[in-house]
Structure 1
Amino acid sequence: MNRILFLALGLVSLAGSAGAATESAPGSRLTAAQVADRNVAARGGLEAWRAVSSLTMSGQIDVGGKKDLMVPFVATMKRPHKSRFELRFQDQTALQVYDGAQGWKVRPFLGRDEVEPYSATEAKIAAQAAELDGPLVDYARKGTKVELQGMESVEGHQAYKLKLTMKDRVERHLWVDASSFLELKMEGEPRKLDGRMHNVAIYYRDYKVEGGLKVPHVFETAVVGVKKTHRMTVDHVAMNQPVDDALFAKPQLASARLPGK
């Protein structure tokens, strides 16, 4: 689901135990592998998530501005690594798509009436983003190493702090609730603002059961040193709906506008 957040951030700025460290950190009773296994179980189970071939979320996202403008979005993901994010406002649609190897974006809000390829940085981030099931589902098969680094408090919840090292050696920290074993927070891709890099944190809230699986319905992204956060609220979730691969291909200009416009 972090793939959704990567795509959302790109547009918002407009307006299994193998591979895990098994030793427990001080003050913890569980190993990294056990925390990961309990997280997957709490979210619905490994086999249930493996059975999800596509995931679509729609709702509202805060794009900022003086009036905290909320606009509708639709995010669609399909295995193994395809994604599409649409943001609609004033009869126009901004979008980002990734076909598993290449990505494109359309940004009419910036007066750019053309399809642009991902930058080298955007392509790298897209390739690193987790699949639709999240970072701990099938983590070993994805080539991720998980280490436990102790306990921390996240918004009043005691949480296990995990260090994830992806197969490309990118490192991220993830905090898992010590009671519910659901994700509370994860490090995002650092963002460059005012000429320097700022750390990013993504908070997961309001979990609901969708098709037997627990899915967060509120994502809030905070950039260290920036007071304003961005909140995405999910109203509808659909799993295993038929999704044509053409949806993730290079967009035609007409597809960047609402029908009939």
Structure 2
Amino acid sequence: MKPFAIWVLAGCLGAAVFASEQIPKQDLSVDQIVEKNIASRGGLDAWRKVQTMIWSGHVDSANAPAADLPFVLAMKRPNKTRFEVTVFNQKSVRVFDGKQGWKLGPNGMGSATPRPYSIDEVSSARDEQVIDGLLIDHEAKGVSVTLEGTDQVGGRDAYRLAAKLPSGVTRHVWIDAQTFLDVKVDRQVRTPLGQTVVVETSYSDFRSVEGLQIPLKIESGAAASEKKDMLTIDKVSLNPPLDDGIFTRPASPQMRRKSVSIDADADASPALSGAGRPAP
């Protein structure tokens, strides 16, 4: 065989091998994909041991009055959350105790009164699976999962799974076909004008935190919009002590002295593995 033909053949073989590495295996069942996803994220037993978690970092949003707004997100099983973001030295708070939710944000007069979640906000909050997401222990959570197909996400092949929640809502979860990490999830939300829009959340910059793979960059926004919100996590704390009081109705500014705040540095995890990331 002529040298030129040999090089052409070698190039074709190399391209074929590369292509085979990029194409997801079609013989994987949905159970196998979920199993690989859980293993890639650190394993079932490790996630089950996490009862509380705190993220702290900053948010960038086109709708925010300033850039790099500091935030703290506290989560506690089974479904409690408290999100605080500081805007011009004042805190805006969203709290959900598993059944009810409240939001507290400073108005133009520098004061605020806690407002209850709307019906749609309560429904959406109840559907969230805090700490470990939709796929881990999905059967125990009443979430049924099916495989719909594959898509390109960020230039890579990803399995598209449909997760039907106990509420009847279906969300899609995209799993990278090579790393088996979650790369995107979608959900439907209702706007104040009553319109239904699809919101997509993308995950990237996964780092190891005590053996668990956690995305440190989370981008979210309407699928049809180019404007996205970027949440960057700088510190992660696993199993810090969290009093149930921080998940109750937030206090008004007049009663703020009696309220319980989150200690973002409590029992902070060791340095996030990866170059260029400072220790918490």
1:18 maps to which residue?
A: none
2:125 aligned partner, one-letter code: A
Q: Give the counterpart of 1:64 among 62, 67, 83.
A: 62
Measured after TM superposition, the shift of residue 195 of structure 1 is: 5.9
* Alpha-carbon distance between aligned partners in 2 of 1:67 and 1:98, rounded to the nearest angstrom: 25
Q: Give the counterpart of 1:93 among 88, 91, 95.
A: 91
Which structure 2 residues correspond to residues 237-256 of structure 1 after superposition, within 5 A? 237-254=236-253, 255=256
Is 1:196 the counterpart of 2:195? The answer is yes
Measured after TM superposition, the shift of residue 70 of structure 1 is: 1.9
Structure 1 or 2: larger strand share? 1
Q: Give the counterpart of 2:72 among 71, 74, 86.
A: 74
Structure 1 runs, 4 residues or longer, greater than 3 Å off? 65-68, 109-112, 193-196, 254-259
Distance of aligned partners of 1:258 and 1:92 in 2 relative to their CA distance in 1, 3 Å threshold: farther
Measured after TM superposition, the shift of residue 193 of structure 1 is: 7.0
Gap runs ≥5 in structure 1: 1-25
Measured after TM superposition, the shift of residue 178 of structure 1 is: 0.5
Deviation readout 1:76-103 (Å, 9 max, x if unpaired): 0001111100000212000000111111
Question: Which shifted more, 134-143 or 196-205?
Answer: 196-205
Contact 1:185 1:204 in 2 (8 A): yes
* Alpha-carbon distance between aligned partners in 1 of 2:260 and 2:181, rounded to the nearest angstrom: 37
* Alpha-carbon distance between aligned partners in 1 of 2:241 and 2:260, rounded to the nearest angstrom: 21
1:12 maps to which residue?
A: none
Contact 2:44 2:136 in 1 (8 A): yes
Measured after TM superposition, the shift of residue 199 of structure 1 is: 1.4
Deviation readout 1:92-124 (Å, 9 max, x if unpaired): 000000111111110114656101111111111
Deviation readout 1:218-254 (Å, 9 max, x if unpaired): 0001313322111100000000011111110111113
Contact 1:28 1:150 in 2 (8 A): no
Q: Could you say what secondary structure the match of 2:59 adopts? A: strand
Contact 2:61 2:228 in 1 (8 A): no
* Alpha-carbon distance between aligned partners in 1 of 2:128 and 2:98, rounded to the nearest angstrom: 11
Question: What is the aligned length?
Answer: 234
Is 1:123 the counterpart of 2:160? The answer is no
Q: CA RMSD in A?
A: 2.3
Measured after TM superposition, the shift of residue 149 of structure 1 is: 0.9
Measured after TM superposition, the shift of residue 28 of structure 1 is: 1.6
Higher relative contact order (CA 8 A, sep 6+): 1
* Alpha-carbon distance between aligned partners in 1 of 2:189 and 2:195, rounded to the nearest angstrom: 10
Normalising by structure 1, report the TM-score. Answer: 0.84
1:108 maps to which residue?
A: 106
2:221 aligned partner, one-letter code: A
2:206 maps to which residue?
A: 207
Identity, in percent, stands at 35
Q: Give the counterpart of 2:32 among 24, 28, 34.
A: 34
Question: Which shifted more, 41-50 or 63-72?
Answer: 63-72
* Alpha-carbon distance between aligned partners in 2 of 1:108 and 1:56, rounded to the nearest angstrom: 23
